[in-house]
């Protein structure tokens, strides 16, 4: 059974906001990746404006809550964070540069034609398990995001407050894989998800019940990324909690239904 000790749930944030970076020069001209390292690609002017607009939307969501920031070390995510700060009026508990929230690695200097061919191949193979030549698979990103969850829980336990908002300034696939991990969704659930637009906000809200806290996507976020209709805890967790019961009952595995939240 997967559980979270009570002492580790008291400071889980009221909401988690995942923000994809603003439009970058690489989004406008993919040939840049052939001569400039992916992590050094900056925002375009449009991307900076997107980030400032998102900052205002985000601050209205946060209200008077204190906030903690986790920022991918890529130039475009750090620039997005800088632009957000024009609107942040809440108390900032801390800001952490977090390499595990970086973009999926597509290789080093990228051959545009080979990358486009690989992306087409990925559609047929599956986004989660497809590995780019000299790069990462979605599963690799999932593994490092899973490792980050432990650090995040520890930070919440030691440094945060239960009325806080956590903001992750990250990348599209990384945001989706964090939600998959946090919500215990299956690989099939992930494969059906859509990438958020630049500076779109994916919002997870905490709900406190008798069995402990649970998180659910807001309706707007669920619709934006085409998430499972429940928007809540996924089917993957039930494998660990209910397998013996389901097997002993009728010999079939039933992955439906809700389960308590847990890491």
Compute the distance between CA of residue 191 and CA of residue 128 in angstroms, rounded to an integer: 7
Contact at 8 Å (CB) between 54 and 201?
yes
Compute the distance between CA of residue 8 and CA of residue 13 in angstroms, rounded to an integer: 11
Compute the distance between CA of residue 16 and CA of residue 28 in angstroms, rounded to an integer: 29
Active site residue 223: no
Pick from 89, 95, 118, 94: nearest CA to 106: 118
Of 21, 87, 171, 184, the catalytic one is: 21
Compute the distance between CA of residue 87 and CA of residue 59 in angstroms, rounded to an integer: 7
Of 103, 136, 171, 184, the catalytic one is: 103
- 42 burial (CB, 10 Å; 0-12 / 13-18 / 19+) is middle
Contact at 8 Å (CB) between 30 and 112?
yes
3-class secondary structure for 50-111? HHHHHHHHHHHHHCCCCEEEEECCCHHHHHHHHHHCCCCCCCEEEEEECHHHCCCCCCCCCC
Compute the distance between CA of residue 129 and CA of residue 236 in angstroms, rounded to an integer: 17
Contact at 8 Å (CB) between 64 and 47?
no
Compute the distance between CA of residue 122 and CA of residue 120 in angstroms, rounded to an integer: 5
Active site residue 194: no
Compute the distance between CA of residue 208 and CA of residue 128 in angstroms, rounded to an integer: 31
What 8-state DSSP symbol labels residue 4? -
Active site residues: 21, 103
């Amino acid at each position: 059974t997967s559980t979270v000790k009570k002492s580790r749930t008291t400071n889980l944030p009221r909401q988690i906001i995942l923000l994809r970076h603003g439009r970058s020069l690489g989004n406008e001209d993919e040939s840049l990746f052939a001569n400039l390292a992916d992590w050094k690609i900056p925002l375009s002017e449009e991307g900076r404006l997107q980030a400032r607009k998102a900052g205002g939307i985000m601050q209205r969501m946060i209200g008077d809550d204190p906030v903690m920031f986790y920022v991918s070390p890529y130039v475009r995510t750090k620039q997005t964070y800088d632009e957000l700060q024009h609107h942040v009026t809440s108390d900032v508990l801390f800001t952490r540069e977090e390499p595990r929230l970086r973009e999926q690695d597509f290789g080093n200097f990228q051959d545009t034609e080979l990358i486009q061919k690989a992306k087409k191949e990925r559609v047929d193979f599956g986004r989660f398990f497809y590995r780019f030549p000299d790069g990462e698979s979605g599963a690799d990103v999932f593994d490092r995001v899973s490792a980050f969850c432990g650090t995040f829980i520890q930070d919440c336990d030691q440094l945060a407050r239960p009325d806080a908002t956590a903001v992750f300034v990250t990348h599209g696939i990384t945001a989706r894989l964090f939600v998959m991990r946090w919500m215990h969704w299956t690989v099939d659930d992930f494969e059906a998800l859509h990438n958020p637009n630049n500076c779109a906000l994916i919002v997870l809200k905490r709900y406190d019940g008798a069995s402990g806290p649970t998180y659910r996507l807001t309706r707007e976020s669920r619709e934006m990324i085409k998430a499972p209709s429940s928007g809540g805890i996924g089917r993957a967790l039930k494998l660990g909690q209910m397998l013996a019961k389901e097997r002993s009952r009728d010999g079939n595995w039933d992955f439906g239904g809700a389960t308590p939240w847990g890491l």
